[in-house]
Amino acid sequence: MPFPVDLHTHTNASDGSDSPAELAAAARDAGLSVLGLTDHDTVDAIAETAEECRRLGIAFIPGVEISTSIRVGESENTPSRLPIHLLGYGIDTSNGPLVDTLASHARARSVRMGQMIERCNQVIERDTGRREAISASRVLDIAGKGSIGRPHLAKALIESGYATSIDDVFERYIGRGKPAYVKRAPVDTVEMITLVREAGGAPVLAHPDEYGTLDHLLPVLRRAGLVGMEVWYGEYDDATVNRLLRLAEQHDLVPTGGSDYHGRSVKPSRTLGMTPVPLTSVVALEAAIEAIRAEAR
């Protein structure tokens, strides 16, 4: 049976498959009482999702997931950066600096996508002799009005017969370190924490088990203004959850969580309400949001 809270979800405004209305309806069908929306680098679906949740009697927390990176060391005199996904909850979606920054990120996503499409075509031509197998226009059609992302390219590759699943695409073409992968332009994590707070939001570290040891990272981000960290996430097992919960307590961070739901056609294993996020987490997150807003008054 699903749990009643899911604070990490996506719509087709970014790389999910559900419209705002479909997401809200799916949340109702899953028995959710609290839904958080965290589309990648866009707030375009927040107003509609909030209205649908209000209509269906579901408490709604607006959010965004921002792709950032933080400097972690030196390698051959070149700064080494660790990719970090930052969640911002309770943000003011009319905040000018935030809106402008997200628009800049969307433009950078489009440039990066063009580069990955070109690299995919180079790999396919090398392996099959077929030129220009994937068109940028088709990837844009799949993305629709949403913020373009790698799952859209993955769908184009699948429908053209060059892969069997999204996982297959990431493993062969566009996963980190694969031949068609293109790094993002650096967006500093600390600067984005400040931006989220200035927009009245609570910055939360997404899926922290991806980032290796957290002993150095968490103190740095906490000093910068981080207020929370995902503890219950996706398919994290009990041992991982318990370890992250201890770290959240140690660093005085609000433990949050969610499924990272993208829709059944994108990540079938991620279902709404699959993570046991307690209502006490929602209460603590809302208190953190209110405290940040009070600082700005």
CA distances from 68 to 21, 40, 229 (A): 29, 11, 15
- Pairing mode of beta strands 34-37, 5-6: parallel
CA distance linking residue 215 with residue 247, whole number of Å: 9
Q: To the nearest whole number, what is the mean pLDDT of the chain?
A: 92
So what's the pLDDT on residue 217? Answer: 95
Q: Which two tokens stand for residue 219?
A: 């103190």
So what's the pLDDT on residue 74? Answer: 53
What pLDDT, in 10s, does the model give residues 127-146? 888 888 889 999 988 888 77
pTM given for the model: 0.86
Amino acid identity, position 49: T
CA distance linking residue 34 with residue 5, whole number of Å: 5
Please compute the mean of the pLDDT values over residues 32-51 and round it to a whole number.
Answer: 97
Residue written as token pair 């929370």 = 228
Report yes or no: 259 and 270 within 8 Å, Cβ to Cβ: yes
Res. 292: pLDDT tops 90: yes
What pLDDT, in 10s, does the model give residues 64-123? 999 999 988 654 444 588 999 999 999 999 999 999 999 998 888 889 889 999 999 999
CA distances from 166 to 105, 159, 172, 211 (A): 23, 11, 10, 22
CA distance linking residue 63 with residue 202, whole number of Å: 9
Q: Of the ranges 41-50, 59-68, 98-107, which one carries the lowest mean pLDDT score?
A: 98-107
Report yes or no: 224 and 194 within 8 Å, Cβ to Cβ: yes
Q: Which residues are registered as beta bridge partners of 202?
A: 89
Q: How far is CA 149 from the centre of its chain?
A: 11
Report yes or no: 3 and 281 within 8 Å, Cβ to Cβ: no
Please report the domains of the chain, with CATH numbers, ordered by start residue.
5-103+184-296 (3.20.20.140), 104-174 (1.10.150)
226-262 CB burial, b ≥16 within 10 A, e <16? bbbbbbbbbebeeeebeebeebbeeeebbbbbbbbbb
Res. 229: pLDDT tops 60: yes
So what's the pLDDT on residue 277? Answer: 97
